[in-house]
Amino acid sequence: MSGDRRVTAAAASVARTVRSAATPSPYDALMTARQAPYRCTACQADALRWAGQCSTCGAWNSLEEVVAEQETAAVLTPQALSAIDRGATTPVPTGVTEVDRVLAGGLVPGSVTLVAGAPGIGKSTLCLQAAVVAAARGEVALIVAAEESAPQVAGRAARLGAPATGIEVLATASLPDALAAMLTTAASVVVVDSISTMADPMIKSPSGGVAQVRAAAERLAHIAHARGIALILVGHVTKEGDLAGPRALEHLVDTVMHIEGDRHHERRVVSTTKHRFGPAGEVGLLTMDADGFRSVADPSAALMAERGPALPGSVATVLAEGARPLVVEIQALVTPAVASPARVAQSVSATRLRQLAAVLDAHGGLDLGRHDLFVACSGAVRATEPAVDLAVVAALVSAYQDVALDPRVLCLGEVGLTGAIRPPSSGGRRLAEAARVGLDWAVVPPGVEIPPGVRAIEVTTVRDLLGAIERLSIRRRMPAPDRSGQPF
C-alpha cells in the first residue's frame, strides 16, 4: 500500500512539473498571488478546502494551510505636489455633449466608470457609442460582451457608424478571459457589459453574487489603474431603482452614472451620484433614436416647450442640484378617494409629498385627507430637493381648486412643518434661468435675490401662498354640458 502511495505521489509531482514548464498565460501571471489555501505535506498537492484525507495520495491529516510568501515591494516615497503630472487625468470626450458635461469633460484614463440603469434604457448603446468615438479618433476600444454575442455587438456598432477598425469584441462571461484580454490589449477604452454577469470559476458562488461582483470589479479596476485604461462597467438596478449588487461596488469605482427615463420614450436623463474628477449631481438630457444618443442643446427650453396650455395642477419650478439650473414642470392630480387615500409620487420624494399634504391640511385649511394625491415631475427628471416644496404645494392647491396658474409663474421655496416657507440656495441663479425661458413671475419667500426682469410675489407661509394662487390663477372655463350630459 505504501508503494502505491509513493507511485501516486511521484505521478502528481511529475504532473506539477509539466504544468509549471508550460508557458504561463497573462492571467496565470496575475493569479500567482492567489494560491490554493491548503497543501498536502505528503505529496505537495494543492487543495481548495481542508479535508481529513488528501484526495491525491490518500494520506490522512496531511493538509496544512499555506502561508503566502510576502514579496519584497519597492519603497515608495512621497512626491511634491508641484511635481505631479496632472495631464494623466485629462478627460477624453465621449462624443455625447451632455454626457461629457455630466462627467466634467469625459472619461479619464485609468478611471473606472459604473453606468447603471433599468433594462432597455440604453446602457449598452451609450457605452458602445463611446467606444465608436474612441475608434474614430484612431484609438482602440475593447468590448467585453458578457450578455450578447459578437454578431449582436457588431450589428449595433454598425448602426452607430463604427469605423472598419479600432473596436475589438470579446464575447465571454469568464473573468479570467477578460483579465487576460485587458493585460494584452492596446485599447484605451474597455467596456465590460455587464459586471453582474462576470464570473470567476475559482470563487464558489453564483454569477451576480456579492463575492463574484466584488472580485470582478476589484481586479478589473486594478488593471485599469495600472495600465491607464478608461474602464466602463455596466451595472444593473433593482426594481426600486437602486444599484444591484454589493454596496462596496460604488466605493470601488471612481464614477457612478445613472441613465433614467421611460424605455418606451426617446427622452433619457443622465446624472452622477459620485464623481472623483468633478462635481457630482450634474444632470444632462438626451434623446435616443436608431442612431444612438443625441444631446438636448437647451434642456430648460425643451422641457417648457412640452408643457402645453395652462391647466390646473401644473406649476413650474427650477432645479439646481448641479452647476446648471434646470426648469421643470410639477404636475398634480387630486381626486376623491374611493377607499384608503393614496399618495403616489413619480420622480418626487414620496415622503415629502405625505408631509406637504399634512401641512396643507393643518395650516391651509384644505381637506386633502380624503383625497388621492398624484404628483410627478415631467421630463423624467428627479425633483427631490426641498426647493421644489412650494411648487408641489402650489400644484396640489391648483388641482384641488380646479384653477390654472398663469403659465409665466414659477414657485420656489422650502416648506416647513409649521407652514413657514424658507428661501432655497442659489435662488438668484435659478430665477435668472427661469426668466431666460419666459417665466417672469416668481412666487418666492423673502430673502431670494430677484434678477432684473423678474416680478416677485413674496410669501412667508402656506396661507400667503393660497392668496398668491388666487391672484395669479386663470379661472378654468369649461363648456357647459347639454341635456344629454355630453359637452358641446
pLDDT of 393 over the 90 cut: yes
Q: Supply 161's cell numbers.
A: 457608424
Burial state string for 392-409 with b = 16 or more CB within 10 A and e = fewer than 16: bbbbbbbbbbebbbebbb
pLDDT of 438 over the 80 cut: yes
> Cα–Cα distance between 427 and 228 in angstroms, integer?
41
**Grid cell 443625441 — which residue?**
294
Q: Where are the domains of the chain?
A: 2-65, 90-297, 301-475
pLDDT of 440 over the 80 cut: yes
pLDDT of 345 over the 80 cut: yes
Residue range 210-214: mean pLDDT, rounded: 86
Q: What fold characterizes domain 301-475?
A: Ribosomal Protein S5; domain 2 (3.30.230)
The string of pLDDT tens digits covering residues 307-327 is 888 899 999 999 987 778 999
Peptide linkage before 194 cis (omega within 30 of 0) = yes
SS3 for 21? helix
pLDDT at position 403 is 93
Q: What fold characterizes domain 90-297?
A: Rossmann fold (3.40.50)
Residue range 252-267: mean pLDDT, rounded: 88
> Cα–Cα distance between 207 and 200 in angstroms, integer?
8
Would you place residue 129 in the very low, low, confident or very high pLDDT band (cuts 50, 70, 90)? very high
pLDDT of 73 over the 70 cut: no
> CA-CA distances (angstroms) from residue 471 to 162, 307, 405, 419?
57, 22, 9, 20
pLDDT at position 390 is 96
> Cα–Cα distance between 347 and 380 in angstroms, integer?
7
**Residue 38 — left, alpha, or beta (φ > 0 → left; ψ -120 to 50 → alpha)?**
beta
> Cα–Cα distance between 39 and 64 in angstroms, integer?
5
pTM given for the model: 0.77
Residue range 150-174: mean pLDDT, rounded: 91
Would you place residue 339 in the very low, low, confident or very high pLDDT band (cuts 50, 70, 90)? confident
Q: Do domains 90-297 and 301-475 have the same CATH topology?
A: no
Residue 31 buriedness (CB in 10 A; 0-12 / 13-18 / 19+): middle
Q: Supply 287's cell numbers.
A: 434623446
Pick from 106, 113, 5, 20: nearest CA to 58: 5
pLDDT at position 350 is 93
SS3 assignment for 142-180 = EEEECCCCHHHHHHHHHHCCCCCCCEEEEECCEHHHHHH
Neighbouring C-alpha atoms within 13 Å toward the C-beta of 168? 17
Residue range 294-302: mean pLDDT, rounded: 91
**Residue 438 — left, alpha, or beta (φ > 0 → left; ψ -120 to 50 → alpha)?**
left
Neighbours of 424 (CB within 10 A): 23
